[in-house]
């Protein structure tokens, strides 16, 4: 007679073989991953190409033929300073990607260790750490960005730091719950019974097992960062001129929306494609790694 | 509209269930007469649930059923596979109902129990006015105490057994013609299970319903059913009246299943009979079955906890491998503002385990078995009392001071999947306890152990998900043995395994315990398993040991009332069939 | 847009007496007290509408009587005697008389913003009788009357000076009604006004941060008019709309790129000249204002009485610029360009960066928050190589008289000429001296004067009387009328 | 239960106190001089110094903290450096505007998200379900200010149906709604898309639950099963996400406020930063933080109402 048991306590960390949350069971999300990868690769490719080549110098102004429509010279037209939109669009992909990468790096560098530590310390201390995390989370990223921009001046770096700080508490929360789940599994107990310390546990067991959630968080963080960069640039708190960036282009273009709508639509489209790409990728990976959608709080 | 007993209520012809190209259930035929109680038996994954779900028309998305499933007895027969959703909805809960395996999750957590029950009534008897009365009646018919109060609580406020009763009441609300019960009691403790089964049989009898009872537990089926159907790999391998199948099984699988399920031993080798043919011979079989080492079974005292008396030291020996004194563990803190919730998981446990002894601990869920083991292995600290291993206190020590313990004592967990990190290669898993060994040393040990637990050497590079449950448990055992420990602790090491695999793993454990001369602490809620594997058994209840003594003795002539209850609750198919 | 229909004929010339008008504006007043809060936003809105002084600047830039009916200047230029208008009261009923003039002008000592030192020449104010007052200067200052026509000459009632930040009590055609911080300000016609009553019953000033948002508002009828619109790129399409009129006048603003003389290379006149020639002002103007406004070559604007057009003095000539750089022996010049984070400045700076790159000067743009950071960094700490800002104060050429001003123009000749102009006794002498001075400054090239920003006034049909030019004093809205 | 509420409130108060310290000292380091920013380009150093003294900006930080924090919680947030008028009414006005705007946005979002999310979950293996999911994916990808600009271009400028911006207090009735419509739509479209995804996930999750099968086995049709048993269970995560959205939007709506010229908290903050109006900045940041914490608190208190399992004292 074998009896499977389940009590409310271990419902949250199912131990039956039916829904092992950390095991890749059904490989879902295929089409989304594919579509997401294609879009993201396209954006990466743009950034890569722009490092070596753009049709024209993206910062060269030709005020005489400003706001020109598409032509052989300016494939996608020119903006209010007569810069080539196609070139700016290519070069402008670097900032959002950089901001995405930076944000995720900062957010993870802070959030992952914090989340793991909060999960591994005993319950009391962990609870206080999470309360601290709550306070941090009460500072929305945009608020941080506005304040940091005032303190250090608006720049890509301040945007990255602010957005990264904004991302970190959410990451910490997800990492903590993931870690708790890993730690509640018997293999974590087994590792302790094998005489292994906390660091080993964190590196060998926890990190590999929350990899899925982390990847999902990263792609989502990327998408959020790209949107936030655009919003910050729109407020004049993001990337300062003359560096090309999609957000900046949107900001420059909005004053001529009625006159030359293309100056806005191109960067708008670029942002949408990049965000869509990362979101699709994230959703697909989530379906694959973690069918339960983690509520980010 | 009475239907004769011979007349079928349900006839299943050529039922197959496919998921894409996979055929999960293959062309099965059977029928159920009115009032008949049929058991559907088979190991995990054999297609039992899918069969039931096909009948009630609730297969999940992606699954597709073919064949004919006909429900007779109405104005005209209905083919349940092709019936419209609307028609099925009128049948479900009215003429066919189903009780599911998981009482914990099968009820809507946000709805009061009474409302969920009333809903069943309302759907099919929209004009009835005194539904509340009927609902209370139903609750009391499944022996829920204080039905009026119970109707106003939420499912999480009920125990598993109570929830399962509510499920049963819900299913019986409209006195269905056919009740499908999909492993309705596997999630329950033996004692609760027994009550639930009795209740079900009684209800079905009273309403004159037919029953299709799914389980992988032969003992259970023998208490409930008249006829059994045995499935394997999506096919029916044997079916017939209970007596016939159990006394004279025709199909070899049935025979093996029965043997394994009863933990039958092979007369020659004293090894457990397994499903896959004769018990595997070890390369160098142990010549003479060594009686369990240690102080000899006869020296063990059979003691019980007396009512109100202070807890004695059970199984007291000199120079024990493991000495446990007045161990308590209370979970939860008093809370910031006073009244926090605390759980007294252990309430003063004292016992010894002699070197070389096989010490079993039984008790039902939540009685503190795992808590005790965590303290024995110093993975957690007691609230009071202490544990000594080979004379050294291990409780409340820093991890650094316990290095030696990590080598002398190892643990094997309940869930073979959960105790292996899915992201690690088997080699890394097995060598995890070897903190200092060199690479070559490690791979040498891995090879050695894989051989000992009967896995191919090529397993070393694989990951856990590439193994079956039994194989995984072998890996876990290999890991526990890699440091050549003196004491092995097994926490429900076989409860998650299928009956057939269980026997294999128990055999392996037996062999290794002898080979390594291990002191074994074996925890289980399954008395049969403990009887087979241990010389001494301690029975736990609510954080206390209530009885302890030589296992045969304790199980044959239990003294403590709780033990008696426990022993009598074990469904034994032999008793029934004889 | 909330004009209530009035009876009467509906022919075009008929003016709705009880009309109200809402006007979009940009610079947001932080409060109502321009004696202690800098920036033009406050007095622009209040002066000539709510507050008045002794004299005013008319739409052509000429000085006209206001609360003073007439005045006389002594021959030595040190005594200004004003005959005051009789029967003038403040909105709270306080009577306006010579004591008020004395009180208000002597209170300049307490001003902490809006350059009270422009009237530092005032030595004392003597009350001759109730309606005659003499302002005595310690040294001649030909500009004194002009400054008296601006915010510094505002007449305050002694009882209201404690609440200047939140209330405005003046003698003007409008009474102050309310100011919702950064959102809107409202005036209502003062019925007991001493002069011609205001053309509309109420005026609402609606504040915008963003030019396109305001342009959208006028397109959709959200406001009746917009002053100082910077939606230059939309002017063409706005003009094409039936019911929107576009007027382009001039402002006092001089957009100037300053070159820090403490920088080794920029200290050399040849290098500064090279920069002058390197920059394509046409392109700058096109980028910053879509070509509206005037290209400048000197520090004066067309509405200044002493304006001279220098726009062709330094032609765009990259070749020449390179030669001048060579002649100065400057190579690999790389400069930091600190730019206020304003659209016009960022656009101009990017064109200039491009222009300078063309002649081999490497320019790094560094955007700074304006005003908080930019002022501190550039004006106070003078920590810049190149910087650019629109100086909107009227007659801002006067800043070249101060050697410690951020652009560090320290020329004794120029300072002498400033003194000479101040002691002028008639317009001709004054203008001649100022023109000579302008020439001197242009020749010394302390900065690259780029353009005079346009004053774009948008109005919907039927609105008239909006001031076309921005003269750097109050925006007189009393003549605004709404046709029925 | 009551104990739980009291405890949660205690933690809340403590959190707010800690947050106030963080806010004050974090912002204490803001460079740029409020006095200078106020006096303008022409002011002399002495004038600036004098004003600084008058503003009290030259006293030690801890003294100012105590003064500020006691003032803040007694409703007197001090005088704005810039406007020399009390900060409290300005902040509260802006807060009210922001709350209404965000509430409007959330309403739109919920109206979009629930049907979209539920439909795309229920039909997740059918083409139209994929279409709905795709729609919400697209919705999230558009920056909300771009959505705002496009809405203005279409509904205000081209069609002339609604005002292009500005704000009207709720007392104005129809005019209030007209001014709220476009910004709320801009906020709601994008956030609705986000919410729709969570709703979809929550509904998908709930559809996998055992009790849904139980309900079907009772004889409920799939539609009624979803309505009677599914939605309330899906509500818990959706409410949580909605609250997070709400909190984020209080400041996150700043871009929309800019586009639509709405005097909310975000634009007030940006202006305060430009003026280096430190008291104002601190008060706004503190308000936002408190608001976020309050929303968290409310959700924590509301969730047990929806889900009885959370009611027992934990
Ligand atoms: N939705 C599904 N899609 C694909 N395969 C499935 C699905 N549901 C079940 N299966 C597979 O069908 C087989 C039979 O499953 P079923 O649930 O009927 O087994 P069972 O006999 O009830 O086992 P258990 O005793 O574990 O409940 C198993 O191999 C299982 O993995
Ligand atoms: N970490 C914990 N915090 C609070 N209570 C706990 C904790 N672990 C166990 N408990 C409680 O202590 C009691 C004993 O738990 P334990 O896990 O030891 O039981 P068990 O006998 O192993 O049961 P099972 O057969 O279900 O594994 C139970 O009531 C359980 O709910
Ligand atoms: Mg099953
Ligand atoms: Mg246990
Ligand atoms: Ni309006």
Q: Mind listing the pLDDT tens digit of every residue in chain B (578 residues)?
A: 344 445 788 999 999 998 877 888 898 999 898 888 999 988 777 888 889 999 988 887 778 899 999 888 878 888 888 888 888 888 888 889 998 877 778 888 888 888 888 888 888 887 777 888 888 888 888 888 888 888 888 888 887 778 888 888 888 888 888 999 988 877 677 777 788 888 888 888 888 889 999 887 777 888 888 899 998 888 898 888 988 888 888 888 888 777 777 766 666 666 666 665 444 444 443 343 444 444 444 467 777 777 666 777 887 888 888 999 999 998 876 544 444 567 788 888 999 999 889 999 988 777 888 889 889 988 888 888 989 998 888 888 887 888 888 888 988 887 777 888 888 889 999 998 888 888 898 899 999 889 888 888 888 888 888 887 788 888 998 898 888 889 999 888 877 777 777 888 888 888 888 888 889 999 887 787 888 888 899 998 888 898 888 888 888 888 888 888 888 877 665 554 43
- For residue C436, the tally of other CB atoms under 10 A from its CB is 16
Best mean pLDDT range from C113-117, C472-476, D278-282: C472-476
**How many angstroms away from the CA of C268 is the closest CA of chain A?**
28
What's the B51 CA to ligand 1 centre distance in angstroms?
Answer: 10
Interface test with C, best of A56, A57, A58, A61 (most C CBs within 10 A): A61
Pairing of strands B322-331, B303-304: unpaired
> What is the fold, at CATH topology level, of the domain defined by B8-262?
Rossmann fold (3.40.50)
What's the B68 CA to ligand 1 centre distance in angstroms?
Answer: 20
Six token digits for residue B413: 């967990």
The residue of chain D nearest to residue A152, with distances taken between CA atoms, is D31
Q: In the complex, which subunits touch D with 3 or more CB pairs below 8 angstroms?
A: A, B, C
* DSSP states of C336-376: EEEEESSHHHHHHHHHHHHHHHHTT-EEEEEEE-TTHHHII
Contact A2/B498, CB-based, under 8 Å?
Answer: yes
Distances (CA, A) of D89 to D72, D77, D100: 12, 9, 16
Lowest mean pLDDT among A57-66, B48-57, B236-245, D37-46: D37-46
**Strands of B322-331's sheet in order across:** B343-353, B322-331, B384-389, B392-393
Look at residue A2 and tell me whether its pLDDT is greater than 60: no
Residue nearest to atom 1 of ligand 2 (CA): B331
Look at residue C211 and tell me whether its pLDDT is greater than 70: yes
pLDDT of residue B258: 79
Lowest mean pLDDT among A76-85, A135-144, B566-575, C163-172: B566-575
Determine the average pLDDT of the residues in C419-438.
89
Lowest mean pLDDT among A211-225, C282-296, D37-51, D278-292: D37-51
pLDDT in tens, C106-137: 999 888 888 888 888 899 999 999 999 999 99
How large is the ipTM?
A: 0.80
pLDDT in tens, C245-278: 999 998 888 999 999 999 988 999 999 999 999 9
The Cα–Cα gap between C322 and C358 comes to 9
The residue of chain A nearest to residue C363, with distances taken between CA atoms, is A242
* Contacts with C36 from chain D: Cβ below 8 Å: 38-39, 51, 84
pLDDT of residue C66: 93
What's the B411 CA to ligand 2 centre distance in angstroms?
Answer: 17
Comparing CB atoms, the residue among D216, D228, D308 nearest residue B154 is D308
**How many angstroms away from the CA of C236 is the closest CA of chain D?**
16
pLDDT in tens, C274-298: 999 999 998 899 888 888 999 999 9
**How many angstroms away from the CA of D152 is the closest CA of chain B?**
44
Per-residue confidence band for A27, with pLDDT thresholds at 50, 70 and 90: low
Work out how many CB contacts closer than 8 A connect A with B: 122
Contact B415/A11, CB-based, under 8 Å?
Answer: no
Residue burial C350-362, b: 16+ Cβ < 10 Å; e: rest: bbbbbbbeebbbe
Six token digits for residue D79: 């005088």
Site to substitute for ligand 1 among B18, B24, B235, most atoms within 8 A of C-beta: B24
Between C377 and A64, where is the model more confident? Answer: C377
* Contacts with A66 from chain C: Cβ below 8 Å: 286-287, 290
pLDDT of residue A185: 81
Per-residue confidence band for A293, with pLDDT thresholds at 50, 70 and 90: very low
Neighbours of ion ligand 3 (CB under 5 A): B 49
| CA nearest neighbour of C226 among C478, C455, C428, C473 | C455
Q: In the complex, which subunits touch B with 3 or more CB pairs below 8 angstroms?
A: A, D
Look at residue C399 and tell me whether its pLDDT is greater than 70: yes
Instruction: Enumerate the β-bridge partners of residue B180.
Output: B98, B212
**How many angstroms away from the CA of A244 is the closest CA of chain B?**
43
Is there a shared CATH topology between the B8-262 domain and the B320-330+344-569 domain?
yes
The residue of chain D nearest to residue B56, with distances taken between CA atoms, is D217
Contact A140/D140, CB-based, under 8 Å?
Answer: no
| CA nearest neighbour of C85 among C131, C124, C128, C40 | C131
The Cα–Cα gap between B426 and C320 comes to 77
Ligand nearest to the CA of C1: 5
Ordered by start, the domain boundaries in chain B are: 8-262, 320-330+344-569
Look at residue A123 and tell me whether its pLDDT is greater than 80: no
Residue D97 forms contact with A (CB below 8 Å): no
- Looking at residue B253, the DSSP 8-state letter turns out to be H
Per the CB < 8 A criterion, the answer to whether A36 and A281 are in contact is yes
Contact A279/D22, CB-based, under 8 Å?
Answer: no
Look at residue D302 and tell me whether its pLDDT is greater than 90: no
Ordered by start, the domain boundaries in chain D are: 1-78, 95-275
Query: Which domains are assigned to chain A?
Result: 30-56+78-290 (1.10.3720.10)
Contact A131/D15, CB-based, under 8 Å?
Answer: yes
Look at residue C472 and tell me whether its pLDDT is greater than 60: yes
pLDDT of residue B269: 63
pLDDT of residue B162: 83
| CA nearest neighbour of B535 among B370, B376, B397, B353 | B353
Own/partner pairs for D84-88, CB < 8 Å, 24+ apart? Answer: D84/C31, D84/C33, D84/C36, D84/C37, D84/C165, D84/C166, D85/C31, D85/C165, D85/C166, D85/C181, D87/D279, D87/D280, D87/D283, D88/D283
Residue burial A1-32, b: 16+ Cβ < 10 Å; e: rest: bbbbbbeeeeeebebbbeebbbeeeeebbeeb
Interface test with B, best of A120, A193, A207, A212 (most B CBs within 10 A): A193
| CA nearest neighbour of B58 among D214, A19, A26 | D214
What's the D180 CA to ligand 5 centre distance in angstroms?
Answer: 11
Look at residue C59 and tell me whether its pLDDT is greater than 70: yes
pLDDT in tens, D129-180: 777 777 778 888 888 888 888 888 888 887 888 888 778 888 878 888 888 8
Ligand nearest to the CA of B189: 2
What's the B49 CA to ligand 1 centre distance in angstroms?
Answer: 7
> What is the fold, at CATH topology level, of the domain defined by D95-275?
MetI-like fold (1.10.3720)
Look at residue A251 and tell me whether its pLDDT is greater than 50: yes
pLDDT in tens, A176-191: 888 888 888 888 888 8
Look at residue C69 and tell me whether its pLDDT is greater than 90: yes
pLDDT of residue C317: 92
The Cα–Cα gap between A85 and C401 comes to 45
Look at residue D291 and tell me whether its pLDDT is greater than 90: no
* Contacts with C353 from chain A: Cβ below 8 Å: 59, 242
Work out how many CB contacts closer than 8 A connect A with D: 132
H or E stretch at D70: helix D61-73
pLDDT of residue B183: 82
| CA nearest neighbour of B97 among B125, B57, B69 | B57
The residue of chain C nearest to residue D33, with distances taken between CA atoms, is C372
Instruction: Enumerate the β-bridge partners of residue C126.
Output: C134
> B-contacting residues of A 163-192, CB under 8 Å?
185-187, 189-192
pLDDT of residue C200: 92
Class of domain B320-330+344-569: alpha beta
What's the C222 CA to ligand 5 centre distance in angstroms?
Answer: 6
């Amino acid at each position: 007679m074998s009896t499977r048991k389940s009590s409310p306590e271990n419902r949250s960390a199912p131990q039956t073989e039916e829904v092992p949350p950390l095991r890749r069971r059904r490989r879902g999300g295929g089409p989304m991953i594919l579509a997401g990868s294609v879009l993201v690769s396209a954006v990466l490719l743009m950034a890569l190409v722009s490092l070596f080549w753009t049709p024209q110098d993206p910062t060269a102004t030709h005020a005489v033929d400003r706001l020109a429509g598409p032509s052989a010279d300016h494939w996608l037209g020119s903006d209010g300073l007569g810069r080539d939109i196609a070139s700016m669009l290519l070069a402008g992909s670097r900032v959002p990607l950089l901001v995405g990468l930076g944000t995720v790096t900062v957010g993870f560098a802070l959030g992952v260790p914090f989340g793991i530590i909060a999960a591994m310390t005993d319950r009391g201390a962990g609870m206080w750490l999470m309360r601290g995390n709550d306070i941090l989370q009460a500072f929305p990223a945009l608020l941080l960005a506005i304040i940091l921009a005032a303190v250090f001046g608006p720049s890509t770096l301040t945007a990255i730091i602010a957005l990264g700080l904004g991302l970190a508490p959410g990451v910490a929360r997800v990492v903590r719950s993931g870690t708790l789940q890993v730690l509640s599994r018997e293999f974590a107990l087994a590792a302790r019974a094998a005489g292994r310390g906390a660091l080993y546990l964190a590196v060998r067991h926890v990190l590999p097992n929350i990899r899925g959630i982390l990847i999902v968080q990263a792609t989502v963080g990327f998408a959020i960062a790209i949107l936030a960069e655009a919003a910050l640039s729109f407020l004049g708190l993001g990337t300062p001129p003359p560096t090309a960036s999609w957000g900046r282009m949107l900001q420059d273009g909005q004053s001529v929306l009625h006159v030359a709508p293309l100056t806005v639509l191109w960067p708008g489209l670029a942002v949408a494609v990049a965000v869509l790409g990362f979101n699709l990728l994230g959703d697909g990976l989530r379906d694959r790694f973690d069918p339960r959608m983690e509520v980010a709080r | 509209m009475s239907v004769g007993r011979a007349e079928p209520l349900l006839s299943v012809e050529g039922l197959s269930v496919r998921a894409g190209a996979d055929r999960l259930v293959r062309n099965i035929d059977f029928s159920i007469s009115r009032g008949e109680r049929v058991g559907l038996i088979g190991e995990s994954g054999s297609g039992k649930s899918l069969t039931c779900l096909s009948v009630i028309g609730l297969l999940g998305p992606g699954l597709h059923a073919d064949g004919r499933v006909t429900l007779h007895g109405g104005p005209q027969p209905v083919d349940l596979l092709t019936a419209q959703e609307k028609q099925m909805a009128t049948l479900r809960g009215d003429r066919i109902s189903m009780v599911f395996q998981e009482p914990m999750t099968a009820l809507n957590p946000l709805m009061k129990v009474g409302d969920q029950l009333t809903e069943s009534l309302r759907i099919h008897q929209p004009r009835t006015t005194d539904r509340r009365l009927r609902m209370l009646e139903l609750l009391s018919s499944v022996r829920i105490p204080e039905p009026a109060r119970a109707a106003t609580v939420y499912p999480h406020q009920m125990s598993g057994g109570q929830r399962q009763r509510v499920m049963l009441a819900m299913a019986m609300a409209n006195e269905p013609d056919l009740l499908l019960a999909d492993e309705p009691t596997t999630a329950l403790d033996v004692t609760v299970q027994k009550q639930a089964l009795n209740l079900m049989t009684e209800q079905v009898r009273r309403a004159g319903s037919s029953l299709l009872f799914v389980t992988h537990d032969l003992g259970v089926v023998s208490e409930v059913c008249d006829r059994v159907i045995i499935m394997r790999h999506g096919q029916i391998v044997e079916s017939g009246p209970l007596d016939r199948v159990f006394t004279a099984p025709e199909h070899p699988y049935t025979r093996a299943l029965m043997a394994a399920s009863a933990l039958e031993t092979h007369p020659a080798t004293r090894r457990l009979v397994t499903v896959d043919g004769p018990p595997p011979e070890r390369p160098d079989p142990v010549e003479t079955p060594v009686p369990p080492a240690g102080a000899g079974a006869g020296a063990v005292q059979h003691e019980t906890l007396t009512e109100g008396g202070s807890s004695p030291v059970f199984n007291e020996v000199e120079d024990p491998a493991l000495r446990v004194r007045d161990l308590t563990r209370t979970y939860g803190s008093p809370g910031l503002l006073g009244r926090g919730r605390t759980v007294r998981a252990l309430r003063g446990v004292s016992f010894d385990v002699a070197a070389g002894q096989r010490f079993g601990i039984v008790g039902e869920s939540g009685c503190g078995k795992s808590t005790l083991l965590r303290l024995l292995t110093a993975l957690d600290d007691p609230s009071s009392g202490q544990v000594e291993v080979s004379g050294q206190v291990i409780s409340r020590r820093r991890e650094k001071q316990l290095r030696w313990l990590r080598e002398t004592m190892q643990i094997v967990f309940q869930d073979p999947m959960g105790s292996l990190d899915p992201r690690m290669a088997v080699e890394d898993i097995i060598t995890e306890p070897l903190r200092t060994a060199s690479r070559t040393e490690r791979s040498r040990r891995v090879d050695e152990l894989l051989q000992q637990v009967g896995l191919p050497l090529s397993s070393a590079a694989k990951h856990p998900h590439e193994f079956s449950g039994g194989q995984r448990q072998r890996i876990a055992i290999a890991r526990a043995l890699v440091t050549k420990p003196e004491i092995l602790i097994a926490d429900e090491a076989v409860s998650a395994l299928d009956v057939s695999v269980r026997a294999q793993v128990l055999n392996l454990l037996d062999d290794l315990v002898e080979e390594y001369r291990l002191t074994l602490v074996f925890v289980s809620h399954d008395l049969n398993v403990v009887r087979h594997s241990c010389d001494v058994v301690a029975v736990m209840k609510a954080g206390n040991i209530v009885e302890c003594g030589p296992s045969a003795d304790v199980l044959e002539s239990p003294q403590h009332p709780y033990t008696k209850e426990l022993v009598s609750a074990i469904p034994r198919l032999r008793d029934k069939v004889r | 847009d909330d004009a209530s229909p009035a009876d009467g004929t509906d022919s075009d010339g008929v003016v709705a007496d009880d009309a109200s008008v809402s006007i979009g504006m940009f610079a947001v007043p932080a409060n109502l007290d321009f004696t202690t809060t800098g920036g033009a936003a406050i007095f622009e809105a209040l002066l000539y509408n709510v507050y008045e002084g002794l004299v005013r600047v008319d739409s052509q830039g000429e000085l006209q009587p206001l609360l003073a009916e007439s005045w006389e200047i002594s021959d030595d230029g040190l005594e200004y005697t004003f005959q005051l208008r009789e029967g003038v009261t403040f909105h709270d009923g306080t009577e306006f008389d010579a004591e008020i003039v004395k009180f208000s002008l002597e209170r300049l000592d307490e001003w902490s913003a809006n350059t009270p030192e422009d009237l530092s020449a005032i030595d004392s104010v003597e009350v001759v009788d109730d309606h005659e007052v003499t302002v005595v200067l310690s040294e001649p200052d030909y500009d004194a009357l002009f400054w008296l026509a601006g915010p510094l000459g505002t007449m305050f009632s002694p009882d209201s000076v404690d609440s200047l930040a939140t209330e405005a009590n003046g003698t003007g055609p409008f009474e102050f009604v309310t100011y919702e911080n950064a959102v809107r300000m409202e005036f209502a016609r003062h019925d007991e006004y001493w002069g011609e009553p205001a053309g509309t019953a109420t005026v609402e000033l609606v504040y915008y941060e963003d030019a396109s948002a305001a342009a959208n508002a006028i397109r959709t009828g959200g406001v009746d008019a917009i002053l100082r619109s910077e939606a230059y790129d939309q002017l063409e399409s706005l003009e094409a709309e039936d019911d929107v009129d576009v007027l382009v006048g001039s402002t006092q603003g001089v957009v100037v790129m300053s070159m820090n003389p403490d920088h080794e290379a920029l200290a050399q006149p040849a290098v500064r000249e090279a920069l002058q020639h390197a920059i394509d002002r046409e392109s700058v103007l096109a980028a910053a204002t879509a070509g509206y406004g005037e290209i400048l070559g000197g520090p004066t604007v067309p509405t200044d009485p002493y304006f001279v057009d220098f726009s062709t003095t330094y032609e765009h000539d990259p070749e020449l610029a390179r030669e001048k750089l060579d002649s100065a022996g400057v190579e690999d010049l790389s400069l930091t360009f600190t730019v206020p984070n304003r659209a016009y400045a960022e656009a101009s700076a990017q064109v200039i960066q491009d222009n300078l790159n063309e002649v081999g000067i490497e320019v790094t743009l560094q955007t700074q928050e304006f005003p908080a950071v930019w002022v501190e960094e550039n004006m106070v700490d003078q920590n810049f190589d190149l910087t650019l800002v629109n100086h909107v104060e009227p007659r801002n050429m006067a800043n070249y008289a101060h050697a410690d001003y951020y652009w560090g123009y320290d020329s004794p000749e120029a300072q002498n000429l400033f003194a000479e102009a101040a002691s002028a006794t008639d317009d001709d002498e004054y203008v001649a001296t100022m023109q000579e001075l302008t020439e001197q400054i242009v020749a010394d090239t302390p900065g690259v004067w780029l353009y005079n920003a346009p004053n774009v006034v948008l109005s919907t049909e039927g609105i008239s009387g909006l001031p076309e030019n921005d003269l750097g004093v109050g925006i007189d809205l009393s003549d605004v009328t709404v046709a029925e | 239960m009551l104990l739980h509420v009291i405890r949660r409130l205690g933690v809340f108060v403590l959190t707010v106190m800690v947050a106030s310290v963080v806010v004050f000292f974090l912002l204490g380091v803001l460079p740029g001089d409020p006095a200078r920013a106020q006096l303008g380009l022409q002011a002399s150093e002495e004038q600036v110094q004098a004003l600084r003294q008058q503003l009290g900006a030259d006293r030690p930080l801890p003294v100012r903290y105590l003064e500020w924090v006691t003032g803040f919680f007694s409703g007197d947030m001090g005088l704005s450096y810039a406007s020399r008028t009390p900060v409290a009414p300005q902040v509260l006005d802006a807060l009210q505007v922001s709350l209404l705007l965000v509430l409007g946005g959330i309403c739109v979002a919920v109206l979009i998200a629930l049907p979209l999310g539920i439909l795309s979950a229920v039909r997740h293996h059918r083409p139209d379900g994929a279409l709905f999911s795709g729609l919400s994916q697209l919705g999230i990808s558009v920056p909300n200010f771009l959505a705002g600009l496009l809405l203005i271009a279409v509904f205000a400028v081209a069609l002339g149906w609604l005002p292009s911006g500005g704000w009207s207090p709720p007392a104005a009735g129809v005019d209030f709604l007209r001014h709220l419509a476009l910004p709320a739509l801009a906020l709601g479209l994008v956030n609705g898309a986000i919410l729709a995804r969570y709703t979809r996930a929550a509904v998908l999750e709930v559809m996998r639950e055992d009790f849904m099968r139980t309900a079907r086995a009772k004889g409920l049709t799939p539609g009624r099963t979803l309505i009677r048993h599914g939605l309330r269970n899906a509500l818990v995560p959706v409410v949580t996400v909605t609250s997070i959205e709400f909190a984020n939007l209080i400041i996150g709506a700043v871009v929309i406020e800019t586009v639509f010229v709405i005097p909310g908290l975000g634009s007030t903050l940006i202006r305060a930063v430009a003026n280096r109006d430190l008291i104002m900045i601190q008060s706004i940041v503190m308000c936002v933080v408190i608001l976020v914490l309050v929303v968290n608190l409310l959700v924590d208190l509301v969730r047990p109402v929806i889900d009885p399992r959370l009611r027992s004292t934990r």
